[in-house]
Amino acid sequence: MTLLSVSELSVATRDGLPLLHTLSFDLAAGERLGLIGESGSGKSLTAFAVTGLLPTGLVSTGSVLLAGTQVIGAAERSLVPLRGRVAAVVFQDPLTALDPLMRLGDQVAEPLRRHQGLRGAQLRAGIVAALAEVSLPDPERIASAYPHEISGGQRQRVAIAIALACRPELLIADEPTTALDVTVQADVLDLLDRIVAERGMALLFVSHDLAVVARMTDRVIVLRAGVAVERGTLTALLSAPQHPYTAELVRSARTLDHALDIS
């Protein structure tokens, strides 16, 4: 079943400056797709557009069918039930997803209460289970802490726990580890990989880092200045990039990371 069907999606500013040009792709349940490109190539705009979360001042055209619902031009109220339940987003900076003045347990509780109807002891157990699932040590302590009292990597794990709380069918991860130290980055990628596989979720993984995308997906779209310049399996892309921009991405990633030398 096609979970996300994007057809000729374009995004422009209100005064007509094009930012994303006629992007098309499909994502079936349980499938993974990477979006790669340098800063400003339109990766985040794509992630926002498919969930109907584009900043005001930007206009999208084309078609985005998320679990059969047309997102482009949809009223906000018809998208609310899709967010969290069908598609959830994890952003680069976990602080965007977290309220600094609220205990973490209460923040995890909110979607569990709203979407799963948990209350009382069941809700408390659900909070601890959600924090334990993202491999946070001592989930009871984390639940009573505030965001500033835990590390950046732990904050991203809590943000992931919140995104997963409604059991979404699709996880959109927009540079989820870019703000983290390299060692923490690897742990968070392992965690995402494990949970996406265990739950059979679809994954749209956005990153400027080819090595990171290669770790998480096997099919990618290369975006450059809002245009999809190449698409295919990572193996094909790494061994025989067709577009000069892709070749350059592969070359610079190889310089940084010899682990990509798989050909």
Ligand X SMILES: Nc1ncnc2c1ncn2[C@@H]1O[C@H](COP(=O)(O)OP(=O)(O)OP(=O)(O)O)[C@@H](O)[C@H]1O
Residues that bind ligand X (CB under 6 A): 13, 19, 37, 39-45, 55, 57-58, 208
- DSSP E strands, 106-184: 170-174
Our CB check for ligand X shows the closer of 134 and 253 to be 253
Would you give the end-to-end CA distance of the chain in angstroms?
A: 33
Give whichever of 29 and 58 is closer to ligand X, judged by the CB atom.
Answer: 58
Our CB check for ligand X shows the closer of 44 and 51 to be: 44
* CA 147/CA 67 separation, integer angstroms: 33
Contact 195, 168 (CB under 8 A): no
Smallest gap, in angstroms, from Cβ of residue 187 to ligand X?
A: 22
Q: Which of 112, 109, 110, 104 is nearest to 144 (CA)?
A: 104
Residue 39: CB minimum distance to ligand X, A: 3
**Least CB distance to ligand X at residue 13 (A):** 5
Which CB, 45 or 127, lies closer to ligand X?
45
Shortest spacing between CB 225 and ligand X, in angstroms: 8
User: In the chain, at which residue ranges do the beta strands (DSSP E only) sit?
Assistant: 2-13, 18-28, 32-36, 58-66, 69-70, 87-90, 170-174, 202-207, 219-224, 227-233
If the CB atoms of residues 106 and 248 are measured against ligand X, the closer one turns out to be: 248
Shortest distance, position 158 Cβ to ligand X, whole Å: 22
